[in-house]
Amino acid sequence: MAMTIQCDIVSAEREIFSGIVEMVIATGTLGDIGIAYGHAPLLTGINPGPVRLIKQGGAEEVFFVSGGYLEVQPYHVTVLADTALRADDMDEAAALEAQQLAQHQLSEQSKEIDFQRAAAQLAEAAAQLRTLQAIKRKAGK
């Protein structure tokens, strides 16, 4: 039997996941990171994108986070995210629409546009789409 750790994924609104996993894989601010049993304590920022959980027995569950922090303690991993969604709860059409709207706002040369906000919305929509595409590739669709 593989060694396991407790993992909690928490958004600003609610707890999304709490359970025992073999590994947590996320995109940290300095690159991809994999956390397994026995990992050294760590606190790092995470970028918008997928957080993959390898559960007991090898089953995988994917979540989308809009960024946040990942904290590793000896037997516990916590993902603190502004927004976190189960991959099954994500709407590809809405993400595409948000991406197109943000791209349109960035392409306009109007002074009324908040470029920083539009760029953040574009990055989040693109991360959601990358997460959905990775899930589809894994499923062979």
Q: Kindly state the average pLDDT of the residues 56-75.
A: 90
Which CATH number fits the domain that encloses residue 29? 2.60.15.10
Q: Kindly state the average pLDDT of the residues 71-92.
A: 83
Same domain, 101 and 83: no
Q: Residue 107 belongs to what domain range?
A: 90-139
Q: What string of H, E and C letters represents the secondary structure of the chain?
A: CCCCEEEEEECCCCEEEEEEEEEEEEEECCEEEEEECCCCCEEEEECCEEEEEEEHHHCEEEEEECCEEEEEECCEEEEEECCEEEHHHCCHHHHHHHHHHHHHHHHCCCCCCCHHHHHHHHHHHHHHHHHHHHHHHHHCC
Say what the pLDDT of residue 141 is. 52
Same domain, 73 and 134: no
Which CATH number fits the domain that encloses residue 133? 1.20.5
Looking at 71, 87, 103, which one is the last position of a domain? 87
| Average pLDDT of the residues of the chain | 82
pLDDT band at 84 (very low <50, low <70, confident <90, very high): confident
Same domain, 55 and 123: no
Same domain, 77 and 109: no
In the chain, how many domains are there? 2
Same domain, 113 and 126: yes
Same domain, 75 and 114: no
Q: What is the distance in angstroms between the CA of the first residue and the CA of the last residue of the chain?
A: 31
Same domain, 121 and 53: no
Same domain, 39 and 62: yes
Same domain, 80 and 31: yes
Same domain, 67 and 95: no
- Does the pLDDT at position 80 exceed 90? yes
Same domain, 72 and 13: yes
Same domain, 14 and 80: yes
